[in-house]
Structure 1
């Protein structure tokens, strides 16, 4: 140690220059050090959200949440699955290993959900990528006169244009619509007439359900062209 001190005293200029160089490198390195209050970290989690309107939590759990858990519970790298079933909505959160390819996993989740058969009253499951560095929700409101026709028109505008435009924006995982008036067709049933014919309400519901669909009708081929045929049978 004494030899080192003696060397530093004899070559004090060199020691001072070395110390200044270390300080300079430290200052430059500190200024170039990237610091963020909320670093951009991609958490390896995916949430599947499914709406089941006017349904109690127990039915949501049995008819939606559990089937979704079973469908996506076999993905590679999956560590934990936890879910919440509330009145009218199911949320299933999947947590994967750090370093997982979340784009590929999100695609696999969607493929699993596309093959899943859920009750007809449910909405299509929405796959959400959660980013804790941002508030992941922006709410937009459409306003207008509280008239039934205007509320239906705003609902159509939101479904046909605004929702589709928003989902094409980079970084938007999904767009959901709340409120407005959805167009519906009401069927008045004569209960006495049904009883006389021996027909139940379930039978009427089934017939209406299978009738209210558009089906492919094949193709009509010509010499140099081909036309796809659709059978339009959906209620308007």
Structure 2
């Protein structure tokens, strides 16, 4: 190498100049980034199951999900967490894996599983791990003039809104916040006594209502009997009136007949008298 440099200094000079030029160009065009865009071979799958205990989440969601994800290509490890109301799987792939294709395969696997799940189980969320998800700053808040409740309220009402308004801040996650809570304990003996009184009052009201209903039904039956008796009497009276009217018609007919006969007799007697008077006049 030394002999070559001595024999051909111009060639060596040109090579050194080219290296310097390319180095300067690379340095000028290089864009440094605090958090460069790197493709990590990790995917997180989170599935919600509201109201389910960790054991039920593991049996219904986590186990089938693990078995399905274990068949993916280039899968390295599967780590799962089953907690109350949700299941989380962390999938690690080989470094050379195309993560875009891996996410598509995971989506297909989850769609096959969701078709057999209950409607209360949420749709799995697929999250790719990238440096942008890592916090770039961690800060603590402390004060000797505030207790932990006042300090939590100060951080929630003052510090966090001020930081959220800062340019470039995407999100803020808090931890260790303390809020006052109230626990109400019910006296079981008093509650049972109150329930007994309420039940007794309800039973009494029901008994009174039942008695009133029976009295009303009895009164209704009595009135119905009275109505039926009155109807029968009315029918009997109507029948008697009809018989009396018919008898009166018959008596009137007989009377008219007798009156006609009497009138005929009177006419005959008057004729005889008239004839006798005529004879006497002669």
- Return the structure number with greater strand share: 1
The structure with more radius of gyration: 2
* TM-score band w.r.t. shorter chain: 0.3 to 0.5
